[in-house]
Chains A and B, each alone.
Chain A
Amino acid sequence: MNEIIRDKIGAIEFRMLSPKLIKKMAVVKVITPELYDADGYPIDGSLMDLKMGVIDPGLRCRTCGGKVKECPGHFGYIELARPVFHIRYIPLIYIFLRSTCSSCGRLLLPQAEIDKWLKKMSEVDDEKKAIITKIIINKTKLIKKCPHCGAKQERIKLVKPSTFMQGSTKLTPIDVLERLKRVPDTDSELLGISPAAGRPEWMVLTVLPVPPVSVRPSITLESGERSEDDLTHKLGDIVRTNQRLLENLSAGAPELIIEDLWDLLQYHVTTFFANNIAQIPPARHRSGRPLKTLTERIKGKEGRFRKNLAGKRVNFSARTVISPDSHLAVNEVGVPEVIARELTVPERVTEWNLKEMKELVKNAPHKYPSANYVITPDGKRKVISDETRGAILEELAPGYIVERHLRDGDIALFNRQPSLHRISIMGHRVKVLPYKTFRMNLCVTIPYNADFDGDEMNLHIPQTEEARAEAEILLGVENNIVTPRYGLPIIGAIQDQITGCYLLTKTEELFSQEKAAELLASIGIFELPKKPAMKKGGVKYYTGKQIFSMILPDIDYIGTSKNCPYHNVCNNPDCKYKKVIIEKGELKQGVIDAIAIGAEAPKGKLTQAIINKYGNEVAIDFIQKAALLGINFLQRHGFTTLLTDTDLPQEAIREIKDAFNHAEKKIDEIIKEYHEGKLKAYPGRTVRETLEFKIIEIINRARNRTGRIVESYVKPNNYTMIMAKSGARGGVLNLALMAASVGQLSLRGSRIRKGYRNRTLPHFKWGDIGPAAGGFVRHSYKGGLTPTEFFFNAITGRDTIMDTSMRTPKSGYLQRRLINALQDLKVEYDNTVRDASGRIIQFTYGADGLDVTKSDHGKLLIPKEEVLK
């Protein structure tokens, strides 16, 4: 943290490696395939030569003198006895061979045309250059005679993977190398190799770079045996073959043997680069496992790019199971002490905190608030142990850094995967607690999409002042109440918290002074409402609305509640009970339900009004208090769900029965009409489809009626119904499912039709297309399903599971693509939206420049109450 970054990487250039450069950057020429001598010491000139870096602790690099972590490693090289092709350049070599003259090496176009294209190329960007190259390749394809030297051109064929045939003769890499050397820079540019990037002949390898040892570390097994990296194995093969080829060449061995060895060398070099080329058998380990060579290291999800470069492993992080704690503030996270002792925050010692820091060091390493390491001003890290504590305590002075344990109030980043949106990572204040799970307030489960059935979450401790500031200001929970997705609170009360507030603000019951004080004290308010609603026998009484008002800041708010709280079925759309009025922080009328304090669209309106007037801190405090008040009240009030919630009176059951009987009769009639051919088809539809539509229509109508019947007959104190009305959980539909009827099951958007020939199950008659055979479940979950109904229910259940499991990876990929396409876009200081290269995408963000998080459901937030005042 005391490092000042002075230099930045400005740009990275990509070029082809020339043989000269390969030799220049190498520190050793590798000539022996053996790795270690009899003592197990690396042999000079071998693949493990100490000049290429060290991997054993204790040894020093012979090039730079660095130890294991200091030396970055150095390249070596292998001088190939005969040149070989680089497998990834084969397609490009093929283009060159076909488009240039076999004798003079010029592009097979007249000079005038070459000049014309060159001029064009100097004027256009990379994308157009590729198009020009394509045109030129096509033009030269059929030219039989070189326009420069007049030589006749014979067509060259590529025999995959890496053999070029000119007529019936094979072109060796030496021949190709010679030809490519003759191609002038201008012609090479037209064929796609920029002269600045390199020369075409470099595509044929004459020397091979040997990657440093640190790229291919060997591991020592328990038995003391060394196990080499796949790359070392492959390089060993190359060196061995190369040496044999060299010996045979100098001994003047027969051409046949040389050819074979040359091919073998080509194979080894090819598989060194890529071990999954078609037509080439993959090089295998002794155990039969294919070797993982260069290409495989880079490619794919587990490859270098996606695994190590675009994403990195970090220190100062922890992971454990989560559990709920309503008494934590919404922006707090409970951290187990064992974890707090492991995670540290670096704190610079100054005159002012010297005493405190000394105290911490004194406590180390066994007590809890203490420290794990100190860093001296010259950057040395010292462990605090029983032995070193005394000395460290002595020398500790301003300028030292103490890595102290995590303690209450530190900022931490809390995260749950999959991190689908930015509020999957938020900044919390640490609260160190006993036991072994992370604790969190229930209101933040929504943005994290967390529950407590075994979910685990991650915690990261920012280590620099800048990081801490960002974690607090940009990622802090209180600053992320409103989601950028649609501009409404995503943090708010849930489930019982809502039910509690709903019942508290709805009840006509009065609270005695004692009860009111007790309830308010439970959420940390030690005052009573100013004016009691009633006085009786010297005792003051308060209403639930008054108690709720105690947590409200001074605010005016006019809103609606989800349902009229006083009637089961409220037919009046302008029902006055639905209106919620808050005047000067006093709840005058209506109830507080999910619309006011809930989370996720279209809820949390009251929360939003508070954010707008008093800011995020007040709002988060309000959410926490409202949630706690809700459950504390509910605890005293009593709340549950009962089997009897789903009981219906006799006449309701009869009505439902009637509704279904009526529907069934009607369907029978229609089916009869259909069989008699009297049914008229809808325009553009077949008769069968029309029948299907009509049946579904009738069933739906009957279903809707039963829903209404259930709603009207349910008792007002029905718990399930209270939850539905307050918006806490579930709806009337869920109650109807349990109490009245499950209704029509649909598979892929229609009634169930699959199964046996001419019928869905063997329980039905042939050709039965009635409601029951189509998956209509007349019974309720409580009443119990018939075997066929149960089976149909299982069919749709299984279909849903399939659907979900197919969808998750698809939508994951869509999101990855979206992020990749849009990640560089940002708003500039002139309010335009631009990409990384400065192209303007939008002149004003979203046409009006509004930030969705600061808006009201995407529109400009205008406090109506203030206009009317």
Chain B
Amino acid sequence: MTLPPSIEEQLKELKEMLKLNKAQMEKLRKIAEKQYEKSLIEPGEAVGVVAAQSIGEPGTQLTLRTKLLAGATEMTVTQGLPRLIEIFDARSEPSTPAMTIFLKPSYATSEAKVEEIALRLLEISLEDISKEINVDLLRMRIEIELDPAKMKKFKVKEKDVLKRISEYFKSAKITTGAYKINIKPKEEDMDIKKLYRLRVKLKGLHIAGIKGIKQVLPIKFGNDWIIKTAGSNLKEVLKLPEVDIERTKTNDIFEIWRVLGIEAARNAIIEETLDVLKNQGIEVDVRHIMLVADIMTNDGTIKGIGRYGVSSAKASVLARASFEVPLKHLFSAAVKGEVDELRSVVENVMVNQPVPVGTGMVDLRVKKGDKK
């Protein structure tokens, strides 16, 4: 008999822990095989409901507190019930995106190096390095005054800033002075409203670092240094040569989907959920969370648990109607001429018939008078 990999793993661990010899190992395998057969799940088991209950029941024990400072030097991250809801809702962006960046061994040990890398990650916009960005209405141009101190801090050179701006405003006329840049746009853009809009755009102009990374914090993790960030940009971070691609994480599930695909997103859902529960000291078996993650990602996209996600994709009209906004579903069913085949649970409850899970799954009917 072949045992699943996870159990093989378990046997190996046991072998080492108990220091078993060959004969004992043989015995262990026999016992394990017998136990495995005994412990298999039975057909008909309503695993979905059990999973939902197992995650929902301890929900009352979760904190509602959004931010938690775990330890003295961690970043604020949404946790507890709000985070759990966020994951299951499949929000396209987490309320507090964050990354944990691991570095390759050659970089990870020196604090100075890590700090240098961290600073390079930080997103720097034009506003971050300038004293003032003004609109000069008289001359119809925008004046930027750069801040040398800040530029030094973020290691940005004036030359690069200029390059970025000229790249961005190809048609504009740019004049420069000592730490001063004046931008005069094209003739047709000579409009006060447009100038002000341009100023807002300029403020957010990305100069250096990685877009989306709002805060960086190098912290000690075991013997190594890692970087925790607020804000997330997996795609760009993974491009950096110093970064250990295999261990680097983000809590933005949709980003993982875009960058690494749906299977990675599924794993991210499982891990993020486990993380939330573990942080609150709540025990839930992985299998339940796996099932939720699997149904959320079943069709290759991430669907939320709720009215607009998984529940809206159900085949049964009555099942949808019984959840939320029943009338909408009833009228659209009437117009489309839908047929409810009564294959899932609620519809059968509604019409007082056995539900097709568990013991209700078995169907046996005998034709009357057919005695043979």
- What is the interface of chain A, defined by CB distance below 8 A to chain B? 8-16, 88-89, 92, 126-127, 129, 192-194, 196-198, 295, 298-299, 303, 305-306, 309-310, 312, 420-422, 466, 470, 474, 484-487, 601-602, 682-685, 693-694, 696-697, 748-750, 803, 806-808, 810-812, 814-815, 817-829, 831, 833, 835-837, 839, 841-842, 844-852, 854-855, 858-864, 866-868
Contact = CB atoms under 8 A, between A and B. Distances in A.
B4 to A, nearest CB: 4
Interface in B275-290: 283-288, 290
A295 B328 CA distance: 11
B358 A693 contact: no
Nearest to B348: A9
A485 B24 contact: no
Given A818-B88, A867-B20, A306 B32 contact: no
B54 A849 contact: no
Contact of A860 (B35, B285, B291): B35
Contacts of A835: 48, 295, 344
B223 interface: no
A582 B309 CA distance: 52
Nearest to A422: B53
A631 B353 CA distance: 47
Contacts of A309: 322, 349-350
Contact of B35 (A13, A810, A821, A861): A861
Interface of B: 4, 6-7, 10-11, 14, 18, 20, 24, 27-28, 31-32, 35-36, 38-60, 62-65, 67-69, 72-73, 81, 84-85, 88, 115, 118, 215-218, 283-288, 290-292, 294-295, 298, 305-307, 309-311, 313-319, 321-323, 326-327, 330-331, 333-347, 349-351, 353, 356-359, 361
B326 A841 contact: no
Nearest to B341: A11
A298 B60 CA distance: 30
Given A15-B334, A847-B287, A863-B35, 15 more contacts: A8-B353, A12-B340, A14-B317, A295-B327, A420-B56, A422-B50, A683-B118, A807-B60, A817-B307, A821-B52, A827-B44, A836-B345, A845-B47, A849-B41, A862-B32
B18 A298 contact: no
A684 B74 CA distance: 10
B254 to A, nearest CB: 19
Tell me whether chain B's interface is mostly helix, strand or loop, or mixed: helix
- Most A C-beta atoms less than 10 A away, residue of B35, B313, B333: B35
Contacts of B73: 682, 685, 693
A9 B309 contact: no
B52 A14 contact: no
Given A807-B60, A826-B361, A837 B343 contact: yes
Contacts of B115: 683
A828 B44 CA distance: 6
Given A309-B322, A860-B10, A486 B284 contact: yes
A807 B82 CA distance: 9
A174 to B, nearest CB: 22
B165 to A, nearest CB: 28
B54 A421 contact: yes
Contacts of B42: 827, 851
B48 A822 contact: yes
Contacts of B84: 814
A833 B51 CA distance: 12
Contact of B64 (A126, A466, A806, A866): A806
B290 A749 contact: no
A697 B18 CA distance: 41
Contacts of A299: 326-327
A13 B317 CA distance: 10
Contacts of A844: 4
A14 B4 contact: no
B88 A9 contact: no
A749 B339 contact: no
Contacts of B291: 822, 825, 833, 841-842, 845-846
B88 A817 contact: yes
B24 A421 contact: no
A13 B36 CA distance: 45
A854 B39 contact: yes
Contacts of A826: 44-48, 356-358, 361
Given A16-B334, A194-B337, A824-B48, A486 B32 contact: no
A92 B331 CA distance: 11
A397 B246 CA distance: 78
Contact of B334 (A14, A810, A861, A867): A14
A844 to B, nearest CB: 8
Contacts of A484: 50, 53-54, 285
Contacts of A867: 14, 18, 20, 24, 27-28, 31
A10 B342 contact: yes
B31 A486 contact: no
Nearest to A854: B39
A848 B7 CA distance: 8
8 contacts: A11-B339, A129-B336, A484-B285, A486-B283, A811-B59, A815-B57, A821-B305, A866-B31
- Most B C-beta atoms less than 10 A away, residue of A486, A487, A829: A486
Contacts of B317: 12, 14
Contacts of A474: 358-359
Contacts of A683: 115, 118, 217-218
Nearest to A851: B41
Contacts of B28: 862, 867
A283 to B, nearest CB: 18
Contacts of A697: 72
B101 to A, nearest CB: 13
A702 to B, nearest CB: 15
A827 B47 contact: yes
Contacts of A861: 35, 39
Given A846-B291, A867-B18, A828 B38 contact: no
A833 B291 CA distance: 9
A485 B282 CA distance: 10
A204 to B, nearest CB: 14
B67 to A, nearest CB: 6
Nearest to B50: A484
A697 B73 CA distance: 11
Contacts of B11: 862
Contacts of A850: 36, 39-41, 287
A310 B322 contact: yes
Contact of A851 (B39, B321, B357): B39
A841 B295 contact: yes
A836 B39 CA distance: 25
Contacts of A825: 46-49, 51, 291, 295
Given A826-B44, A826-B48, A198 B81 contact: no
Nearest to B338: A14
A470 B354 CA distance: 13
B337 A196 contact: yes
B216 A803 contact: no
Nearest to A867: B28
A601 B283 contact: yes
Nearest to A826: B357
A212 B321 CA distance: 23
Contact of B285 (A89, A129, A821, A858): A858
Contacts of A810: 59, 64, 81, 85
A193 B336 CA distance: 6
B81 A859 contact: no
A11 B340 contact: yes
A716 to B, nearest CB: 29
A829 B40 contact: no
B43 A92 contact: no
B318 A12 contact: yes
B322 A847 contact: no
A828 B24 CA distance: 36
A13 B35 CA distance: 48
A811 B40 CA distance: 31
Contact of A194 (B319, B335, B340, B347): B335
